[in-house]
C-alpha cells in the first residue's frame, strides 16, 4: 500500500476578498464587519492566515496563553454544596458522598448561613488528599474553622500557613460585566492580594501559589474561551514584573463557575444546552476547575437530586465521551480566537494599568467609576434583550409552551453591592 501527500495551493487574502465580493452580489464588503456593542470589540466575520496573531508559546509554557497543563486537559469536576439556614451536616455529608460516587472529583461548598459548621461531620469520609475541596465562607468564624479542620486533618494537602485567597471576578460577571470589565476586576483584586502578601513578608513565589481566580462563564462561545487565555497572558505579565524565581509562579489557577444571568426558570431544559456550551468554552480555555451550578439552585423549586446530576453529567460526557480532556488547547491556531485573545488582553491590560495609576480599587472614586461602568453594561444587556437585538430562547423568543411555576429567590448580591443580573426577569 502506498500513500500520497496532496498539497493544495495557498490562497492570498486578496483572492479570498475577491471571492467574498463576488458572493456578496453587490453588497459592500463592510457588511461582513461586525461590532459587539456589549464587549466593545469590532471584528471581521472572515479571517485569513495573514490576520493570524503573534505566535503563542506551547501549552504549559509561559505566558501560559495556551494553558498551564501539558500532559492532558483534565479538569476538576466540582459539585457545589449550598449550606443554608436549615442545613444539617449529616444530610449534607450524605449528599457530598453521593456526588462523589456519581463522578464529581471536587466539592465546592458555599455557605449562605451564619451558623457554626462542624466540618468533621460535613466532610466525614471525604478523602481530602484526592478530593479538591473549596469553601466560600459566610463568616470569618466559618473560615477559621475550615482552616483549623484542614490543619488538623492528616490527609489534607493544605496547611494553615497557606490559606488560599480567592479573587472573585465571578461576582462581577454575574452583575452584568463584559469580559474586559471582569478581567480588570480579576487583575486589580489579584494584584491587591499579591501586594498584601508581599507586604506580609512572603516571597513572590509563595504569594502566587496562594491565589485562586474565580470567573463566570457567559454565552459567547469563542469569546469566553479567549477570555481565559487572555487572563493568563495578563497575569503572567503582571507577575513577571516581580521577577519570580520559578517560572510556574507566573501561571494562574482558574476556577470557572456557571451562573444564572442567562438562565431561564421558564425553560429549564434549554438551560442544559446553555450550560453545555458554557462548559465547553471554559474547558477549551484551559480552566483548572469547573463548577456547573444547578440551574434551579436559587429557585423556589430547587431539586438538586435531578439538576445537580444533570450538571455533573455535562462534564462527564465532555470528558469521557467527547474526549475534551485528551487534547490541550484545541483552540490553538484559530485566527478568530487568537484575535479575540489579543483584543481582550490588550484592552484589559490597558484598563488595569489605568486603574492602578489612580490608586487601584482602594481609591473610592476609581471603585465607584468601575461599578458604574458595570451597571451601565448590565443596563445595556437588558435594553438589547427588550429590543430583541440579543435573543435568548425561552426568555424573549420561542417561549416554553409548558407552564413552569418556579420563581427566583435568595439570589446573592453581585460585585461591590450591585445586584445579580437575571435576564429571565427583565421582560
CATH number at residue 125: 3.20.20.240
CB of 422 closer than 8 Å to CB of 260: yes
pLDDT of residue 16: 86
Question: For residue 301, what is its C-alpha cell?
Answer: 423549586
What range does the domain containing 281 cover? 76-345
The answer to the question of residue 303 being in a domain is: yes
Count of the separate structural domains present in the chain: 1
pLDDT for position 160: 43
Neighbours of 7 (CB within 10 A): 5
Q: Is residue 318 part of a domain?
A: yes
Query: Rounded to whole angstroms, how far apart are CA atoms 282 and 218?
Result: 9
Closest of 213, 286, 212 to residue 58, by C-alpha = 286
Q: How confident is the model at residue 309, as a pLDDT? A: 96
Spatial distance between the Cα atoms of 74 and 79, rounded to a whole number of angstroms: 16
Residue 247 lies in a domain: yes
Write down the pLDDT at residue 79.
Answer: 97
Give me the long-range contacts of 49-52 (CB less than 8 A, separation at least 24).
Answer: 49/10, 49/335, 50/12, 50/13, 51/13, 51/335, 51/339, 52/335, 52/338
Please list the residues that pair with 214 across neighbouring strands.
168, 255
Our separate counts of H helices and E strands in the chain read 12, 9
Paired strand residues for 255: 214, 289
pTM: 0.94
180: in domain? yes
Distances (CA, A) of 290 to 131, 367, 425: 14, 29, 26
**In contact, 170 and 257? CB cutoff 8 Å:** yes
Query: Are 422 and 262 spatial neighbours (Cβ–Cβ below 8 Å)?
Result: no
Q: In the prediction, which pLDDT does 346 show?
A: 96
H-helix segments, 200-324: 204-208, 221-240, 268-284, 304-316
Residue 311 located in a structural domain: yes
Is 108 among the domain residues? yes
Q: What is the pLDDT along the chain (427 residues), one digit of tens a residue?
A: 566 777 778 888 899 899 999 999 989 999 999 999 999 999 988 888 777 666 678 888 899 999 999 889 999 999 999 999 889 999 999 999 999 999 999 999 999 999 999 999 999 999 988 899 999 999 999 999 998 898 777 555 444 445 678 999 999 999 999 999 999 999 999 999 999 999 999 999 999 998 999 999 999 999 999 999 999 999 999 999 999 999 999 999 999 999 999 999 999 989 999 999 999 999 999 999 999 999 999 999 999 999 999 999 999 999 999 999 999 999 888 888 999 999 999 999 999 999 999 999 999 999 999 999 999 999 999 999 999 999 999 999 999 999 899 999 989 999 999 999 999 999 8
**Among residues 144, 213, 162, 218, which one has the least CA distance to residue 184?**
213
In a domain, 194, yes or no: yes
Q: Do 78 and 132 meet the contact criterion of CB atoms below 8 Å apart?
A: yes
Q: What is the pLDDT of residue 9?
A: 81
C-beta of residue 394 within 8 angstroms of C-beta of residue 264: yes
Q: Which of 99, 96, 132, 139 is nearest to 116 (CA)?
A: 139
CB 175 within 8 A of CB 185: no
The pLDDT score that the predictor gives to residue 366 is: 96
211, with CB counted inside 10 A (0-12, 13-18, 19+), is buried
Residue 206 lies in a domain: yes
Bond preceding residue 63 cis, omega within 30 of 0: yes
Angle formed by the axes of helices 268-284 and 304-316, nearest 10°: 40
Q: What is the pLDDT of residue 57?
A: 83
Q: Are strands 33-36 and 41-44 parallel, antiparallel or unpaired?
A: antiparallel
Amino acid at each position: 500500500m502506498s500513500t500520497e501527500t496532496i498539497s493544495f495551493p495557498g490562497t492570498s487574502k486578496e483572492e479570498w476578498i475577491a471571492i467574498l465580493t463576488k458572493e456578496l452580489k453587490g453588497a459592500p464588503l463592510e457588511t461582513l464587519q461586525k461590532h459587539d456593542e456589549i464587549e466593545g470589540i469590532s471584528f471581521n466575520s472572515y479571517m485569513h492566515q495573514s490576520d493570524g496573531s503573534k505566535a503563542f508559546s506551547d501549552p504549559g509554557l509561559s505566558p501560559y496563553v495556551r494553558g498551564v497543563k501539558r500532559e492532558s486537559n483534565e479538569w476538576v469536576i466540582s459539585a457545589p454544596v449550598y449550606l443554608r439556614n436549615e442545613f444539617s451536616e449529616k444530610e449534607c455529608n450524605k449528599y457530598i458522598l453521593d456526588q462523589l460516587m456519581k463522578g464529581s472529583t471536587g466539592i465546592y461548598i458555599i455557605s449562605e448561613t451564619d451558623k457554626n459548621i462542624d466540618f468533621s461531620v460535613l466532610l466525614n469520609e471525604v478523602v481530602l488528599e484526592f478530593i479538591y475541596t473549596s469553601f466560600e465562607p459566610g463568616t470569618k468564624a466559618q473560615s477559621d474553622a475550615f482552616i483549623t479542620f484542614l490543619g488538623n486533618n492528616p490527609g489534607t494537602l493544605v496547611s494553615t500557613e497557606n490559606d488560599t485567597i480567592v479573587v472573585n471576578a465571578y461576582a462581577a460577571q454575574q452583575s452584568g460585566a463584559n469580559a474586559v470589565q471582569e478581567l480588570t476586576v480579576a487583575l486589580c483584586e489579584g494584584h491587591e492580594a499579591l501586594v498584601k502578601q508581599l507586604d506580609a513578608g512572603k516571597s513572590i513565589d509563595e504569594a502566587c501559589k496562594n491565589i485562586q481566580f474565580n470567573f463566570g462563564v457567559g454565552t459567547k462561545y469563542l469569546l469566553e474561551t479567549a477570555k481565559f487565555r487572555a487572563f493568563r497572558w495578563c497575569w503572567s505579565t503582571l507577575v513577571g514584573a516581580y521577577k519570580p524565581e520559578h517560572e510556574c509562579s507566573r501561571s494562574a489557577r482558574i476556577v470557572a463557575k456557571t451562573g444564572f444571568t442567562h438562565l431561564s426558570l421558564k425553560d429549564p431544559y434549554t438551560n442544559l444546552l446553555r450550560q453545555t456550551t458554557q462548559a465547553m468554552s471554559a474547558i477549551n480555555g484551559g480552566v483548572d476547575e469547573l463548577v456547573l451550578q444547578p440551574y434551579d439552585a436559587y429557585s423556589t423549586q430547587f431539586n438538586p437530586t435531578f439538576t445537580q446530576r444533570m450538571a455533573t453529567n455535562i462534564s462527564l460526557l465532555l470528558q469521557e465521551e467527547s474526549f475534551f480532556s485528551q487534547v490541550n488547547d484545541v483552540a490553538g491556531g484559530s485566527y478568530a480566537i487568537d484575535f479575540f485573545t489579543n483584543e481582550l488582553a490588550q484592552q484589559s491590560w490597558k484598563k488595569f494599568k489605568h486603574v492602578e495609576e489612580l490608586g487601584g480599587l482602594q481609591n473610592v472614586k476609581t471603585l465607584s467609576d468601575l461599578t458604574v461602568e458595570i451597571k451601565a453594561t448590565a443596563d445595556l444587556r437588558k435594553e438589547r434583550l427588550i429590543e430583541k437585538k440579543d435573543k435568548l430562547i425561552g426568555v424573549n423568543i420561542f417561549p416554553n409552551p409548558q407552564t413552569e411555576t418556579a420563581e427566583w429567590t435568595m439570589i446573592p448580591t453581585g460585585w461591590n453591592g450591585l445586584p445579580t443580573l437575571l435576564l429571565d426577569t427583565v421582560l
